[in-house]
Amino acid sequence: MTAGRRAAAAAGRGGGTGPAAEAEARRLDASDPVPSLRAEFHVPPAPGGAYPEAAYFAGNSLGLQPRTVAGLLREELDDWARLGVEGHTRGRRPWVDYHELLREPAARLVGALPHEVVAMNTLTVNLHLMMASFYRPSGERTRIVIEDTAFPSDSYAVASQAVHHGLDPADAVVRLRPRDGEEHLRTEDVVAYLERDGARVALLLLGGVNYLTGQLMDMAAITRAGRAAGAVVGWDLAHAAGNVPLRLHDWDVDFAAWCTYKYLNSGPGAVAGCFVHERHVRDASVPKLSGWWGTERATRFEMAPEIRPPASADAWQVSNPPVLALAPVLASLEIFDRAGMDALRARSGRLTGYLADRLAPIPGISVITPSDPAARGSQLSVRVPGTGGLDAGALVERLAAEAGVIADAREPDVVRLAPVPLYCTFHDCHRAAEALAAITGSA
């Protein structure tokens, strides 16, 4: 029996309601082997006065601000004020090498070698830079394969890449769909497609965790199948980085990109991350779009007209990194280094399992995220098909206004709840389940 089910059984069917269930949630918080780091984050206040802080379940959309961010930003602003341009070489953290500070913690986070990762740009920009290098349609091998419920930006990006190469996206872009009546792509179906039609696939680009359903893909198995089919395999890790343990190097992934403003708590529009496997970073023949920061550091300021790319993911950098935007990423990665992804993953499983059990008996809703804990991360997507006349957006508004529970909606009928292990608690999950039951029941 899972920790969530044990808690639910102790408090009554589905975790029960009222004081007994709340006491059980508090007991679970007090006894969890991986304590919450909630005190290290700014948590929004809750309206109404029942609780001082919100139960924040929107970290899969925008993570909370670490309390150390303001101090790091003040230091960079102070160096700018004191030193001006000399801050590039004389600052507390010299700006010319600032992105290097993120390299090793980012590599640990995604299971990479340090020279395989770089912090740069934003997610879709990085995907375009990667596709400029690795989507090379030729002969019959022209297809880009994505999931049908890919985030819209990915859909737009791959379609535009097809057009850029003179192809019709209707033919070049393949959208893999679940079986009829199912919500999720089965790994065996993805593998079967690659075994059957892989000779026509130039690029496989799936989301590591699906933004809509919360499904965690079997990235290792799918990568093996894609590479065996002769395709390049890339991953969009927007909802996976900082959410689930990753082993990009060992899985033999060709490239990956991720944002840092969701589970990585680095602020709206924060600088993103990118991975390129070392077999590519050491291959000077790989084409790439280049810029000043993509040349080797030792000769960068010689201002030579010929680029000399380093044998690292830095070769894909185009512009100098925005230091003020990198400081929050640095603050966040320090927290992840200290907490450890394996410990966070274990806590995430307990929180998400407990919330799933509390949601299960609520009538009129259904959880569309996989029930298998190994096939999901820190997100439960709840379908509310017109419950009492409430669409997803209206329900999310009521959760915030009436209970201080902050979630997000994906119209028309999905509410996403992410019990992020860094700062969410069992008591937060209790509040969310109680509020959802009360609102849907009254509606």
**Terminal CA-CA length for the chain:** 33
Of 19, 26, 18, the C-alpha closest to 354 is: 26
Rounded distance, CA 144 to CA 197, Å?
12
Give the Cβ contact number of residue 88 at 10 Å.
Answer: 16
Residues belonging to the chain: 443
Residue 435 half-sphere exposure, CB side, CA atoms within 13 Å?
26
Classify residue 254 by its DSSP letter: S
Query: Radius of gyration of the chain from Cα atoms?
Result: 23
Cα dihedral 333, 335, 336, 338, rounded to 10, equals: 120
Asked if 426 and 22 count as a contact pair (C-beta separation under 8 A), the reply is no
β-bridge partners, 65: 42
- The tokens 């894609």 sit on which residue? 226
Binding residues for pyridoxal 5'-phosphate: 123-124, 151-154, 236, 239, 261, 292, 320
Rounded distance, CA 115 to CA 107, Å?
8
Binding residues: 123-124, 151-154, 236, 239, 261, 292, 320
Give the Cβ contact number of residue 6 at 10 Å.
Answer: 15
Rounded distance, CA 336 to CA 52, Å?
26
- SS3 call for 103: helix
- C-alpha angle 349/63/314, rounded to 5°? 100
Rounded distance, CA 327 to CA 336, Å?
15
Helix, strand, coil fractions of the chain, as percent rounded to 5: 50, 15, 40
- Report the run of H or E that residue 248 belongs to, with start and end: helix 248-251
- C-alpha angle 328/332/336, rounded to 5°? 170
β-bridge partners, 45: 53
3-state secondary structure 21-65: HHHHHHHHHHHCCCCCCHHHEECCECCCCCCCECEECECCCCCCE
